C-alpha cells in the first residue's frame, strides 16, 4: 500500500538564521521523518514573495542548493536548481531605461510538482537571474518569504 506524508517549511531570509540575506541557509528538522527514506519526494513552492525594490533584474528566480531530478538547465548543461521563475515587473521608457519597479514579486506554484531525490536536511535558498547569477539582496536588505511543501510517498507492506 502506498502511503503519503506531507511536510511544510515556511522560510524567510529576514532575519537570517545562517548565511546572508543573499544566500540563506535553513535546517529542515522535520519531526517523524522516516529514517528509511521515501520512494518518491515531490516539492511544491506554494508561495514565494520577494521585496524587489530597487532590483532591476528582469527575472528574480528562486533557486535552491539541490538539483531537480529529470531536469535540464541549458545554461549549466546539467540538472536545474531553479525552483520558481518569476518576472520582475519593470516599466521602461523608449530609451529602455527603468522608470518604475514593482515593490514585490509573487509566485504561486502549489500545483507545479518538482521531483527531488529526498528531503534535504538543510537547504540554501538564493535569488538568481536567468543565467544563474546570484542576485545580491544584502545591499538593499531585500527580504523574501517562501512556503515549501514536500509530499513524500512510501510503500508499506
The pLDDT tens digits for 97-132 are: 655 556 677 788 888 898 898 899 999 999 988 888
Residue numbers of the domain that contains 69: 2-155
CATH number of the domain that residue 88 is part of: 2.60.120
Backbone angles phi, psi at 32, to 5 degrees: 60, 25
CA 51, CA 109: separation in Å to the nearest integer? 18
Q: Are 122 and 93 in contact (CB under 8 A)?
A: no
Q: Are 126 and 66 in contact (CB under 8 A)?
A: no
Averaged pLDDT, 72-90: 70
Q: What is the pLDDT of residue 133?
A: 86
Q: What is the pLDDT of residue 91?
A: 58
State the total domains in the chain: 1
pLDDT band at 78 (very low <50, low <70, confident <90, very high): low
Among 30-39, 97-106, 128-137, the minimum mean pLDDT is found in 97-106
CA dist list (Å): 53 to 3, 126, 142: 43, 16, 7
More confident residue, 107 or 93: 107
Above pLDDT 90, what percent of the chain?
Answer: 31
Q: What is the pLDDT of residue 95?
A: 60
Amino acid at each position: 500500500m502506498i502511503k503519503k506524508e506531507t511536510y511544510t517549511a515556511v522560510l524567510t531570509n529576514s532575519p537570517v538564521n545562517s548565511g546572508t540575506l543573499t544566500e540563506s541557509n535553513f535546517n529542515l528538522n522535520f519531526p517523524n521523518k522516516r529514517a528509511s527514506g521515501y520512494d518518491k519526494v515531490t516539492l511544491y513552492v506554494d508561495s514565494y514573495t520577494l521585496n524587489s525594490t530597487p532590483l532591476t533584474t528582469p527575472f528574480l528566480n528562486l533557486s535552491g542548493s539541490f538539483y531537480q531530478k529529470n531536469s535540464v538547465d541549458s545554461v549549466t548543461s546539467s540538472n536545474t536548481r531553479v525552483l520558481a521563475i518569476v518576472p520582475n515587473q519593470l516599466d521602461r521608457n523608449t530609451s529602455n531605461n527603468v522608470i518604475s519597479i514593482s515593490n514585490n514579486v509573487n509566485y504561486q506554484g502549489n500545483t507545479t510538482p518538482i521531483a527531488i531525490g529526498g528531503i534535504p536536511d538543510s537547504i540554501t535558498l538564493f535569488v538568481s537571474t536567468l543565467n544563474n547569477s546570484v542576485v545580491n539582496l544584502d545591499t538593499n536588505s531585500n527580504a523574501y518569504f517562501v512556503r515549501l511543501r514536500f509530499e513524500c510517498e512510501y510503500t508499506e507492506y
